[in-house]
Chains A and B, each alone.
Chain A
Amino acid sequence: MSEIKEEQKGLRVKPINNGTVIDHIAGGQALNVLKILGIAGTTDATVSVVMNVESRKLCKKDIVKVEDRELFEEEVNRIALIAPAASINIIRDGKVIEKRTVDLPDEIVGVVRCQNPNCISNTLEPIKSRMLVKTKNPVLLRCLYCEQPLTDRIADYLI
């Protein structure tokens, strides 16, 4: 919270009354976080993005604020794919009513595509990509279909 308060004092982005603040995103990853959350450029939601601000916990961090939307746990947990240190603050009437860290689930469905071009999941079959989470730190994913691992450059394969 202290870093959020400090940032509020500087009025880089004004505090929100209701919604979700995602803090401690690794610097430069905010737009990928929005992608994971399914918030595209055409969204109606009020979204604030702060990138590469100084952080004591991380060298540089990003912050995302989504107004009037309380993100579900399963939605935010997927953020751990690229921002394992992220913290989630649910805001109601200007107060933080819930604060939690992200925890990657055992399987990620429909978020990351397989890097194997010959995998059946990269065809027009009526299936979603399914990645099994083999290790969480560092993140190691394995395609349920072709079993090919995906370790680095996960952000490049976000759907």
Chain B
Amino acid sequence: MFMKRHVLTMREFSREEIDSVLDLAASLEPYARGQKSDMMAGKILALLFFEPSTRTRMSFETAMKRLGGGVINLGPAEGSSISKGESLADTVRVIGGYADALVIRHPKEGSARLASQFSPVPVLNAGDGAGHHPTQTLLDLYTIKKESHLENLSIALVGDLKYGRTVHSLAYALSLFGADITLVSPASLRMPDSIKSDLSSKGTRVRETCDLGEVINNVDVLYMTRIQRERFPDPVEYNKVASCYRITPEFMAGAREGLIVMHPLPRVDEIAPSVDETPHARYFQQSFYGVPVRMALLKMLISGGS
């Protein structure tokens, strides 16, 4: 079922391939929680992070180590061959010779695809500039499947829908599952028309609103994202907009029973810390699910098949 050599964008995944990743992730979850495994014994994963990352880098490292494999790290670019002017193409050719798979995060869009053209081993894209971050989308889908349901899903994507790469690929993936999507954002941060028309052309129901209160009792999943201060030249305007997209336990009182709140993290102040104690909060589980999902991808790419 899973015939990929590299994981670069969600657009390259069929519904069946997504299902096979999520199924394998479910079977690997006990190992993510600490059960001993030597599935990846003798295998090495190389982490090439040209940009800072905490959870993505550490969850890949955890996934590989929990499966009994080893990890090598590029480390900071300063002092490495990169600072001497080595091309990305040469770097992945060299490090691909040391490892069984490469994980790459790079500030330039298209960098993971370039890496895949030169690497002798599978490449996993962990974020290429404003481009793609497919493993985040897969862990989001896994969270929805585990904590809610993927069939007949009604979901609100909230916050910065213009620049947020996470919501663009998630919306695309949800269109494969026939989800009902409500886009909630300030007018200046609406999802680009090209993405909306792409979703509509796939038969996905897409609604748009600026009012978060309007959707709270109509959705199964509230997917929050951070509104970045730097998108607003006027701080007063930022504060006004940000306060409209901040959720509190009081606000959640009107929510449908069983509604879950997700967030790719890090959060700033769009979710009040007191929401963590409500039965709706799932963002920390979501973050944990990055481990079994990345385990599944590593197993499929390095060992082959499911």
Contacts and interface: CB of A to CB of B under 8 A. Distances in A.
Interface string B218-251: 0000000000000000000000000000000000
Given A127-B117, A147-B131, A120 B87 contact: no
Interface string A103-128: 00000000000001011110111110
Contacts of B254: none
Nearest to A114: B110
B110 A145 contact: yes
Interface in B1-38: 9
Contacts of A147: 9, 109-110, 131
A40 interface: no
Contacts of B117: 127
B41 interface: no
18 contacts: A118-B107, A118-B129, A120-B108, A120-B109, A120-B110, A120-B111, A120-B114, A120-B128, A121-B114, A125-B88, A125-B114, A144-B110, A145-B111, A145-B113, A145-B114, A146-B110, A146-B128, A147-B110
A124 B87 contact: yes
Contacts of B114: 120-121, 125, 127, 145
B108 A127 contact: no
Nearest to B11: A147
Nearest to B117: A127
Contacts of A83: none
B9 to A, nearest CB: 8
B109 A145 contact: yes
Interface string B188-210: 00000010000000000000000
A152 B297 CA distance: 39
Interface string B126-138: 0011110000000
Interface in B84-142: 87-89, 106-111, 113-114, 117, 128-131
Contacts of A143: 110
Contacts of A55: none
Interface of A: 116, 118-121, 123-127, 143-149
A33 B82 CA distance: 39
- Of the candidates A116, A123, A125, A144, the one having the most CB atoms from chain B within 10 angstroms of its own CB is A125
Contact of A116 (B109, B111, B113): B109
A106 B108 CA distance: 25
Main secondary structure of the interface of A (DSSP, over half): loop
- Which interface class (under 10, 10 to 19, 20 to 34, 35 or more) fits B? 10 to 19
Interface in B120-166: 128-131
B91 to A, nearest CB: 10
A4 B128 CA distance: 51
Contacts of B128: 120, 146
A127 B113 CA distance: 11
A118 B109 contact: yes
Contacts of A123: 108
A116 B131 CA distance: 11
A146 B9 CA distance: 11
B114 to A, nearest CB: 5
Given A121-B110, A127-B114, A146 B89 contact: no
B40 to A, nearest CB: 29
Contacts of B106: 120
Contact of A126 (B87, B107, B113, B194): B87
Contacts of B129: 118, 146
Contact of B89 (A127, A144, A145): A127
A147 B130 CA distance: 11
Q: Which 5 A-B pairs have the closest CB atoms?
A: A145-B110, A146-B109, A146-B110, A120-B110, A120-B108
Given A125-B114, A127-B114, A148 B109 contact: yes
A118 B131 CA distance: 10
A144 to B, nearest CB: 7
A123 B90 CA distance: 14
Nearest to B129: A118
